[in-house]
Structure 1
Amino acid sequence: MDAGMKIKAAAIDLFARDGYAATSIRDLARAVNMTNAGIYHHVTSKEALLADLMRVGQLGLIDATDRLLAHRPAPADRLAVLIGSLTAIHALNPMTTRVMDGELRSLTPGSSARDEIIALRDRYEDRWRTTLAEGADQGDFRIPDQRLTRLALMAMCTGTSEWYRPDGDASLERVCAEFVAIGLASVRSRVQVSMRLDLSLLPDYPWEPHVDPRVDPAGRHPIR
């Protein structure tokens, strides 16, 4: 791992555990055994580092979602993919996704970086908005409030970054399947969906810390 990637890995770990505001450049330098000047050789500022991590994270999420949604025109199939993939991404990358989800507040209001991350977040959430709206329009879903339904379903999925453990009672595959069933039931869908999530299509965040050397059956994502 080169110095730049070591800095990103340490930053994700510190930002997720201690919070961006409580992490200093000195903390980051200590974590990678560098001087403050050495850190600034690779990053222009702590905020620029955060913005870069969030940008790459959001772009990876969007790209993976679009690949998984390809050739799935039915709203129920699309919703199943959205639920399963967001659940798995947060379970497999808990530190990265905690930073992506929780540190937007740390970017300077009115800055181009903050505006960019908000736009990327909105691009991703548009996949959910469109899917729920199409399902309701076609009569596949019965949803009293599409916005509240979207927020509730996404919160269910992202919560896995806080509680999922690979050595727990439920495998990741089971968690994803149960969440898909819960999600389809919440929109009162009568469509039967059979989906096996291809973990090889999920985004790769190489800075995610504490990678377990064991590999999942797809041969790509580490199982944590």
Structure 2
Amino acid sequence: MITDLADRDVDAGERIRTAAVLLFARQGYAATSIRDLGKAVNMTNAGIYHHVSSKEALLADLMRVAQRNLIDAVERMLHPHHRPLDRLSLLISSLTAVHALSPMTTRVMDGELRSLTPGSAAHTEIIALRDAYEEHWKRAIADGVAEGTFRVADQKLTRLALMSMCTGTSEWYRPDGDSTLEQVCAEFVTIGLAAVRAPATAGAVARHDPSLLPDFPWEPPDARNDPRPAEARR
């Protein structure tokens, strides 16, 4: 049983979502059964189905809410900034921070689209939400190239490389590691601006406001400092 997930004083829907995120991230959606979820939160299969219509619907809901929260957060951050340099810096630092602070949720967001039924309404919706988020990256890079601030040979390849750098923190970042999250974000911004060949004379760049980062209430807090592979944690 996962710590605190059987606490009856905690909302059952939130307990189920926390257990789902933890199990989907650690052992994969396909390898997680409704029975596994029930065991984690001390509920019967019927009890789980009282709160969710199906395992796939649960996954879709988690991904939908998480993607919308991410989009809303980044749009709030970007709103007052117009320079492509600032917008790209905010996108890099915020995506890095989100993945470092919510590693289980973001692993599910990034890795389990394949588990949604192709062609289903949920699959189509999640792809559209992903595209809406990535559009901010596309525009920031394209605008920087158009105004001559960035020099990029392949905008798509550059975008994918930068986003992969940021999302990787869900796999290796630890709050008790050698670098603070602020230091990691700042260094990634430096690396990212170097990748687009931004001028060193451009001046200070915007930094994300931690209070504007998206909130994922189901993120399992006890999972963030456990570096062991999934096999060792079972």
TM-score, normalised via structure 2 length:
0.89
Q: Deviations over 1:101-124 (max 9, x none)?
A: 000000001100000000000000
Which whole-Å deviations, capped at 9, do the CAs of 1:68-97 have from their partners, x for residues lacking one?
A: 001100000000000000000000000000
Q: Report the Cα offset of residue 211 of structure 1.
A: 5.2
Paired residue type of 1:42: H
Identify the residue that residue 216 of structure 1 maps to in structure 2: none
Corresponding residue number in structure 2 for 1:137: 146
Give the alignment of 1:62-141 within 5 angstroms. 62-141=71-150
Task: Tell me what 1:54 maps to.
Answer: 63
Alignment check: 8 A CA contact 1:90 1:161 kept: yes
Contact 1:80-1:193 at 8 Å conserved across structures: no
Count of aligned pairs between the two proteins: 212
Query: Which residue number in structure 2 is paired with residue 207 of structure 1?
Result: 218
Distance 1:107 1:187 in 2: 34
User: Counterpart of 1:43?
Assistant: 52
- Displacement of 1:197 in angstroms is 2.3
1:137-191: per-residue Cα shift (whole Å, max 9, x none)? 0000000000000000000000000000000000000000000000000000012
Q: Secondary structure at the match of 1:170?
A: coil
Match of 1:192 in 2: 203
Separation in structure 2 between the aligned mates of residue 152 and residue 141 of structure 1, nearest angstrom: 15
Q: 1:19-34 maps to which residues of 2 (within 5 A)?
A: 19-34=28-43
**Contact 1:76–1:193 under 8 Å retained in 2:** no
Cross-structure match for 2:231: none
Aligned-partner Cα distance in 2 for 1:113–1:140: 38
Return 5+ residue gaps in structure 1 as ranges. Answer: 213-224
Q: Give, in whole Å, the separation in 2 of the partners of 1:81 and 1:211.
A: 28
Distance in 2 (CA, whole Å) between partners of 1:198 and 1:4 is 30
Letter in structure 2 aligned against 1:199: P
2:232 matched residue in structure 1 = none
Q: How far does the alpha carbon of each residue in 1:33-79 deviate from its partner, in whole angstroms, 9 at most, with x for none?
A: 00000000000000000000000000000000000001100000000
Q: Distance in 1 between matches of 2:66 and 2:164?
A: 18
1:20-40 alpha-carbon deviations (Å, 9 max, x no partner): 000000000000000000000
Is residue 89–residue 202 contact of structure 1 (8 Å, CA) maintained in 2?
A: yes
Give, in whole Å, the separation in 1 of the partners of 2:97 and 2:133.
Answer: 16
State how far apart, in whole Å, the 1-side matches of 2:209 and 2:44 are: 42
The normalised TM-score by structure 1 is 0.93
What's 2:230 paired with? none
Q: Give the RMSD, CA atoms, in angstroms.
A: 1.0
Once residues 83 and 194 of structure 1 are traced to their aligned partners in structure 2, the CA distance between those partners, rounded to angstroms, is 12
> Is the CA contact (8 Å cut-off) linking 2:25 and 2:107 kept in structure 1?
yes
